[in-house]
Amino acid sequence: MFIFVKMVIMFGSLIGRCAGMLNRLTIRQRLLIPSAIVVFGFLAIYGVFERGLAIQNALEQEQRQANEFFDQARELERLMLLAQGQVRDFLLRSDMAAMDAHTRTLNRLHALADRLADQASDGTLGQYFADLHKKLSAYEETARSLVERKVALGLNENLGLLGALRRTIHAVEHTLDELDAIYLSHSMLMMRRHEKDFLARHKEKYIREMGEEHARFLKLLAAAKLPAAVRRDVRAKVDNYYQAFLELAKGEQALWREIVEMNMMIDGLNQSLDALMSHVRGEMRQHHLQFEQRKARVRGFIQLGLLVVALLVVVPLFLLGRDVNRSMQVLIARMRALLEGGTDLSRRLEVRGNDEIAALAGLVNGFMDRLEHLMGKIQQSGIRVASSVTDISAVAHEQEAMATEHAATTNQVATSVKEITTTSRQLGQSTAHVTELAHQAAEAAGDGKRKLAEVNAAMQQVTENARGIAEQLSVLNEKVSNINAMASTINKVADQTNLLSLNAAIEAEKAGEQGRGFAVVASEIRRLADQSAVAAYDIEQVVGEVRGAVSSGVMSMDRFAEQIREGMRQMDELGGELERIIGMVQELAPHIDEVNAGLQMQATGAAQIDDAMSGLSEAARQTAEVARQSSDAIHQLNAAVEELKEAAQLFRVQRAD
């Protein structure tokens, strides 16, 4: 408390000395102080923030490292669970790929545990990792022994002890099938059942039951009425099967014990991992708590630094502002006293000191001197301006009357020109329409002439086509005649074939049994000859009809060609008439264009006159408006001069000698 009071007293004494120093400075020198204070404040704030950010970045880096350590520790748990699953996959499916993956997982576990042990920050955590590494090594050794045991037993029914057992079983079953001994086969099935039960449940009682059933089988075999050599062979094979089962059972029991031992090791590993993770989580919570505490201290450091910088900036600025404000209040009080003097421009400010306030007071006094001199000149000039304004007002009234009369005359002329322009425009539109119709008529006549030429060409093409068709029909008539001759020939050949087949049938009848087949062939030939004769007759009938139709077509085409020639003659006459019409329309179009061009020129001239009159009318209106505005402005100027004279007379100035 005493130290705080002492600091307050020292701070007050410092403020007093600073105030005394400020009183001896000019305002310009005082204004340089805030700039230096602001620069110092910014630099100090920048330094505080840089230091705080550096500390905060270091804390965040430590936090990230701690989070990475925790994530890697959790990766240990995940890899351990993955290794356990791979061992289960190997035991269930006997897949060596699972154990290869298990080996890679254990290598990753060792590498990750070693890396975390190197990063451990305390001895307790190092002990946890040492214990974990020891248990991992023991677990790895047990897993390797388990794999070797499983491989020895057999990964499938064809390998290891399991394969040997299956081979002895097949030998016994094959021998029993050959002997057809039902009672022995039944006893063998009971032994197989005990074997399956043991492999499924791994209980000792199934081994005993297997031994009892083996002894029973041997008794049945001894009592069987089989040759001695056969009995010895069967007994040897059954004994081999039983011994293979005992070896497999011994191996399965050892494998089961190793699995139990591995499960205990896995439980120990899980306990070690749980203890390790519990310790890591405790370290993380403690580290997070320390991180938050250090963050709070950094935040307090930054806040304290900002507070100190704010005091160092605000206090000098306050003192400077108070001193400048005091000087300005003095100047304002003097200016108010000057204004309270009313319209007396002879009063002046009292100048004290050598600072900027005193310089400002001197400038105000100089301004008052000039203002007093100016007001004197204004009073003298106001009288001269008033007389000049009166003369200008009379001239403006005369100009306004003349501009109004000129605008009325211009409006009458503009109205007449607009009527002429409207009439010329309408006449030009009508003539343009007539011109357009004349051009359209000429174009239509030209199109008609082209169409007639196209029709004439088409008619000529039709005539050529008709002539070609007539020639083709003549050729077709000749071909049909040839077909008729061929049909007659076919008919004759059919008659001859019929006679030959009849003679062949007679000869076949004479030959008896040897000619029966030939008689059938002759009968078929005769039937085909009859069908050919009928078809030839049908062809002759059709050919006759075709010849008649072709002859009619030739005569029709001749009549059609004559009609086309008559149509072409009439089209030639129509083309001559159209050419005369086109000539008259084409002679009419240029005359209409000349009339239209003249009307367009007349309309353009009228429009130009209309535009000129409109501009002249607008100029006259604007002249009248300007004259009126000039008159109004002169009245306003006269009023302003009177007000200026009255205002200038309010000020009291010293008269020059």
In a domain, 657, yes or no: no
Q: Which residue type, as a one-letter code, is found at position 499? A: L
In a domain, 212, yes or no: no
Question: Which residue intervals of 120-159 are DSSP H helices?
Answer: 123-153
Q: Of 270, 287, 318, which marks where a domain is finished?
A: 318
Q: The domain that contains 591 carries what CATH number?
A: 1.10.287.950
Rg (CA), the chain: 68
Predicted local distance difference test score (pLDDT) of residue 264: 83
Q: Are residues 404 and 538 in the same domain?
A: yes
Q: Are residues 291 and 427 in the same domain?
A: no
In a domain, 106, yes or no: yes
Task: Tell me the per-residue pLDDT of 481-505, one tens digit each, with 9 for 90 and over.
Answer: 677 677 677 767 777 777 777 777 7
Task: Tell me the per-residue pLDDT of 189-231, one tens digit each, with 9 for 90 and over.
Answer: 898 898 888 878 878 888 888 889 889 988 988 888 888 888 8
- Residue range 48-52: average pLDDT? 68
Q: Are residues 421 and 531 in the same domain?
A: yes
User: Mean pLDDT in the chain?
Assistant: 72
In a domain, 17, yes or no: no
User: From CA 134, how far away is CA 265, in angstroms rounded?
Assistant: 11
* The total number of structural domains that make up the chain: 2
Q: Are residues 539 and 403 in the same domain?
A: yes
Q: The domain that contains 140 carries what CATH number?
A: 1.20.120.1730
Residue 117's domain comprises 25-157+253-318
In a domain, 166, yes or no: no
In a domain, 565, yes or no: yes
Q: Are residues 416 and 274 in the same domain?
A: no
Q: Are residues 278 and 363 in the same domain?
A: no
Task: Tell me the per-residue pLDDT of 99-154, one tens digit each, with 9 for 90 and over.
Answer: 788 788 888 887 877 777 777 666 677 777 777 778 777 777 887 877 777 777 77
Q: How many CA atoms, within 13 angstroms, populate the side-chain half-sphere of residue 590?
A: 4
* Cα–Cα distances in angstroms (integers) from residue 330 to residues 94, 104, 232, in the given order: 105, 91, 142
In a domain, 593, yes or no: yes
User: From CA 567, how far away is CA 460, in angstroms rounded?
Assistant: 10
Q: Are residues 383 and 308 in the same domain?
A: no
In a domain, 87, yes or no: yes
- C-alpha dihedral over 73, 74, 77, 80, to 10 degrees? -70
Q: How confident is the model at residue 421 (pLDDT cuts 50, 70, 90)?
A: low
Q: Of 318, 342, 374, which marks where a domain is finished?
A: 318
Task: Tell me the per-residue pLDDT of 229-252, one tens digit each, with 9 for 90 and over.
Answer: 888 988 898 898 889 888 888 888
Q: Are residues 63 and 137 in the same domain?
A: yes
Helix 228-339 and helix 160-179, axial crossing angle in degrees, nearest 10: 140
Strand segments, DSSP code E, in 168-232 are none
User: From CA 262, how far away is CA 256, in angstroms rounded?
Assistant: 10
Q: Are residues 530 and 438 in the same domain?
A: yes
DSSP 517-549: HHHHHHHHHHHHHHHHHHHHHHHHHHHHHHHHH
* pTM > 0.75: yes or no: no
Q: Of 298, 318, 338, which marks where a domain is finished?
A: 318
Predicted local distance difference test score (pLDDT) of residue 260: 81
Any idea which residue has 């009527």 for tokens?
419
Q: Which long-range contacts (CB under 8 A, 24 or more apart) does 279-285 make?
A: 279/124, 279/125, 279/128, 280/69, 280/70, 280/73, 280/125, 281/70, 283/66, 283/121, 283/122, 283/125, 284/66, 284/70
Q: Are residues 291 and 433 in the same domain?
A: no
Task: For the chain, give the percent of residues with pLDDT over 90.
Answer: 0
